[in-house]
Structure 1
Amino acid sequence: METTGTRRSLAWLLAVWGLTRTALLLFVFKVYVFPGPDVTSDVSVIYHDWYEVLRAGTFPLDDVTWQYPPAAALAVLSPALVFWLDYTSAFFVLAFCADLVVLLLLLYAGLRPGRLVRGAWVWVVGVPLLGPTVYARYDVMVTAVAVAALLAGARRPALMGALTAFGAMLKVWPVLLLVAARRRGAWLWAALTAGALALGFAVAMPGAFAFLTFQRDRGTEVESLGGLVLHVARQHGWDGQVLLNYGSVEFLGPYVDAVSRGALALSALAFGWLLLWRLWARRFAPHTLADAAFVAVLMFTTTSRVISPQYLVWLVGLAAVCLCFRGSPMRLPVGLVLAACLATVLEFPVWFAHVVASDALGVTLLFVRNGLLVAATVLAARALWRSTTGRPEPLPVPPPAERARETSLPS
């Protein structure tokens, strides 16, 4: 009966995945039009322009929207592998394949003894909640690398370290996966891999690290936590503007720098909390590595000057890994992240015009989405602290009768 139930559950999971992913493909290929602005233009215009520059052996140094580590060039160039399709179509196909890889990794982990398939369900449900944006950004590819790294962490620390470094060279944030890594092999291989990749790109292609300057100069994006302050101020006479700046829709005007500094201060506090947790942590269960990575990425996503919709893909992937483990205390925070995904697709792209206008609907959607992220961050951090700090729980003491039997047994 258990085998029959498992097969039925897997059949439902694969059916839901197939239906939802078919819908995403129909939207990105524009068989059906998703409400709101066209989310695929990043691929057809921006990524394609970068592709042409990267093919010439250099990074797009004159384009301030290039704000990614050097290995991101591999993701942008990857559609060349599907040479029989045009660039945009090939990218969507590869994003779909990355989505499938994550599902297979989670199923492999979830079907092992002592694990759960519910992590795969988190991925199956969470991705379509974000709409077609998932397949129109390369973040799903980075998430696949991060999921593989976390699942390798317990048994293969060297592989985890190498994959983490590769992920960080794709989009920085996977470096946070190491926050709970205790084995030296993970850190050593992360350092070796990152050093080798950095050196290789620096030698082979000019401008490999120009992205650091472009990232530094970014402002406060309209969907961020700090942006909410400026949305409210705008409704009360603040005379700033909302413009396309550094590749995203940002606030420009008085006090924006102060809000951006406030976001950086919150990120610094998050880093301080993580450092304090790492010093106090005493109990490391099999799920702690994934739980800590989830908390760290939640913290830095929520406090960022930019909370783009695709950032939620990272959180869904890490949340899915957490819930592959029976003992993970992250169920409620994961539920809040999934709710935030639904609020995200409503604020972008469905009603993004209202967000840009700072009207009542747009501001309400942002309050809901960012409020859910803040609540998930606080609850996840609390759960991680409580499950890992303090003394280990004492072993249960057997009843007196059982102790008497044990002492009477011959040695």
Structure 2
Amino acid sequence: METKAVRWSLTGLLLTWGVTRLLLLLWVFGVYVFPGPDVTSDVSVIYQGWYDVLRTGTFPQQDVTWQYPPAAALAILSPALLPFLEYTQAFFVLAFAADLVVLLLLLYVGLRDGRRLRGAWVWVVGVPLLGPTVYSRYDVMVTAVAVAAVLAAARHPKAAGALVGFGALLKVWPALILVGIRRRSVWASAVATGVAVAGLFAVAMPGAFAFLTFQRERGTEVESLGSLVFHIARHHGWDGSVLLNYGSVEFLGPWVTAVSTAALVLTGMAFGLLLLWRLTATRFEAHTAADAALVAVLMFTTTSRVISPQYMVWLVGLAAACLCFRASRMGVTAVLVLVACFVTVLEFPIWFADVVGSTPLGITLLLVRNGLLVLATVVGMRELWRATVPERTPPPPAPDQTTTPARETSPSP
């Protein structure tokens, strides 16, 4: 009976994946037009422009919108693997392939004993909730590497470490996977891979680390948690502006630097809480690495100065990896992430003009989406703490000093 139920679930899952992914491809290839601004322009204009520069053997050092670690060049150059297609077409196909790789990884793990298909369902449902943005950014490729690392951590530590090290040089955040891993072989493999890949790029291509300067100078993006201050302030006389700055739509004007600094402080506090958890946690099981990775990425995404829509695919991938394990306590957190994905596609791209214009609709969408992320972070951290940190047992009560001592008897003569 259980085998039959699994078979039916697998059939439904594959059908859902096929239909939703066909729809995503129809959107990015322009067969159907998705509401809002064209999200594929990042590929046809920005990515292809970087591609032309990277093919010459150097990074786009003069372009402030290049804010990625050196291995990101491989993702931008990857359409060269399909020379019979135009650049944008090849990129969409490769993004689709990365999506398929994640599904296959989740199915491979979810069909083993002691696992379940809940994780695969989270991925199948979560990705289309974000609309065509998923296939129009290279984040889905990074997520594939991160999911592979999380799922390999228990059985293949060295491979997991290598994937983490490589993923960190694709887009930094996969390094957070190490938070919940105690095995030294994973850390050693990650560091060795990261150093080797970074060194190779530093020697082979000029400008490999120029992104550090550009990233440091970013401001408060209009979709971030801190941006809500300015969205509301615009209705009360704040005289700042919204402009395309460093590759994203950001607030510029009075108090922006202060809010950006506050976001960095929140990120620092998040790091401190993760460090405290890591020092006090004692119960580490097979699913702990995935749970901790999801919580860590949630914390740093929510407190960031920038919450771009494509960041949500990171959370969907890690939530899916968590729910492959029956013992994972991230079920509620995963549901909150999925709901946040649905609200995200409403604020970008469908009603992005309202977000930029700080209309009541735009502000409401951001309040709901960012509120869901905050709630998911709090719930996830609470569950992770309860599952791994032992409760303090109260000390035994002190002996009652008021008890009347037994009466001494004098020895008989």
How many residue pairs get aligned? The number is 393
Q: What are the within-5 Å matches in structure 2 for residues 356-367 of structure 1?
A: 356-367=356-367
Residue 194 (str. 1) matches residue 173 (str. 2)? no
Q: Aligned partners of 1:294 and 1:7: how far apart in 2? A: 29
Which residue in 2 is equivalent to 1:99? 99
User: Structure 1 counterpart of 2:338, which letter?
Assistant: L
Which residue in 1 is equivalent to 2:212? 212
Q: What are the within-5 Å matches in structure 2 for residues 313-328 of structure 1?
A: 313-328=313-328
Which residue in 1 is equivalent to 2:225? 225
Which residue in 1 is equivalent to 2:76? 76
Q: What are the within-5 Å matches in structure 2 for residues 231-250 of structure 1?
A: 231-250=231-250
Matched residue SS, 1:178: helix
Tell me, yes or no, if the aligned pair for 1:283 and 1:392 is still in contact at 8 Å. no
Q: Aligned partners of 1:312 and 1:28: how far apart in 2? A: 18
Residues 159-216 of structure 1: CA deviation (Å, up to 9, x unaligned): 1110001000000000000001111100101111000011100000000000000000
Q: Aligned partners of 2:178 and 2:152: how far apart in 1? A: 12
Q: Aligned partners of 1:102 and 1:265: how far apart in 2? A: 34
Q: What are the within-5 Å matches in structure 2 for residues 169-188 of structure 1?
A: 169-188=169-188
Deviation (angstroms), 1:6: 1.3
Q: Aligned partners of 1:140 and 1:256: how far apart in 2? A: 31
Which residue in 2 is equivalent to 1:385? 385
Q: Aligned partners of 1:229 and 1:381: how far apart in 2? A: 25
Residue 29 (str. 1) matches residue 63 (str. 2)? no
Matched residue SS, 2:364: helix
Residues 66-95 of structure 1: CA deviation (Å, up to 9, x unaligned): 000000000000000011000000000000
Deviates further, 300-309 or 227-236: 227-236
Deviation (angstroms), 1:285: 1.4
Which residue in 1 is equivalent to 2:406? none
Q: Aligned partners of 2:136 and 2:250: how far apart in 1? A: 20
Which residue in 1 is equivalent to 2:88? 88
Q: What are the within-5 Å matches in structure 2 for residues 150-165 of structure 1?
A: 150-165=150-165
Decide which structure has the larger Cα Rg and report it. 2
Deviation (angstroms), 1:5: 1.6
Tell me, yes or no, if the aligned pair for 1:302 and 1:373 is still in contact at 8 Å. yes
Which residue in 2 is equivalent to 1:397? none
Deviation (angstroms), 1:2: 2.1
Which residue in 2 is equivalent to 1:272? 272
Matched residue SS, 2:282: coil
Q: What are the within-5 Å matches in structure 2 for residues 58-69 of structure 1?
A: 58-69=58-69
Tell me, yes or no, if the aligned pair for 1:281 and 1:390 is still in contact at 8 Å. yes
Matched residue SS, 1:249: strand
Which residue in 2 is equivalent to 1:120? 120
Residues 320-347 of structure 1: CA deviation (Å, up to 9, x unaligned): 0000011111111110000000000000
Deviation (angstroms), 1:391: 5.8
Matched residue SS, 1:242: strand
Q: Aligned partners of 1:230 and 1:374: how far apart in 2? A: 19
Which residue in 1 is equivalent to 2:16? 16
Which residue in 2 is equivalent to 1:406? none
The TM-score normalised by the length of structure 1 is 0.95
Identity percentage over the alignment? 73
Which residue in 2 is equivalent to 1:408? none
Q: Aligned partners of 1:151 and 1:377: how far apart in 2? A: 21
User: Structure 1 counterpart of 2:322, which letter?
Assistant: C
Deviation (angstroms), 1:286: 1.1
Q: What are the within-5 Å matches in structure 2 for residues 246-325 of structure 1?
A: 246-325=246-325
Residues 95-147 of structure 1: CA deviation (Å, up to 9, x unaligned): 00000000000000000000010100000000000000000000000000000
In structure 2, relative to structure 1, the CA distance for the partners of 1:28 and 1:260 (3 Å cut) is: same
Tell me, yes or no, if the aligned pair for 1:282 and 1:391 is still in contact at 8 Å. no
The TM-score normalised by the length of structure 2 is 0.94
Tell me, yes or no, if the aligned pair for 1:352 and 1:362 is still in contact at 8 Å. yes
Residues 352-378 of structure 1: CA deviation (Å, up to 9, x unaligned): 000000010000000000000000000
Tell me, yes or no, if the aligned pair for 1:180 and 1:288 is still in contact at 8 Å. yes
Which residue in 1 is equivalent to 2:396? none
Residues 238-270 of structure 1: CA deviation (Å, up to 9, x unaligned): 000000000000000000000000000000000
User: Structure 2 counterpart of 1:61, which letter?
Assistant: Q
User: Structure 1 counterpart of 2:33, which letter?
Assistant: V
Matched residue SS, 1:257: helix
Matched residue SS, 1:225: coil
Deviation (angstroms), 1:392: 11
5+ residue gaps, structure 1: 394-411
Tell me, yes or no, if the aligned pair for 1:24 and 1:128 is still in contact at 8 Å. yes
Which residue in 1 is equivalent to 2:403? none
Residues 282-334 of structure 1: CA deviation (Å, up to 9, x unaligned): 11111110000000000000000000000000000000000001111111111
Which residue in 2 is equivalent to 1:329? 329
**Root-mean-square deviation (CA), in Å?**
1.0
Matched residue SS, 1:251: strand
Q: Aligned partners of 1:159 and 1:391: how far apart in 2? A: 34
Q: Aligned partners of 2:252 and 2:178: how far apart in 1? A: 35
User: Structure 2 counterpart of 1:380, which letter?
Assistant: G
Which residue in 1 is equivalent to 2:405? none
Tell me, yes or no, if the aligned pair for 1:176 and 1:296 is still in contact at 8 Å. yes
Deviation (angstroms), 1:227: 0.3
Which residue in 2 is equivalent to 1:50? 50
Which residue in 1 is equivalent to 2:398? none
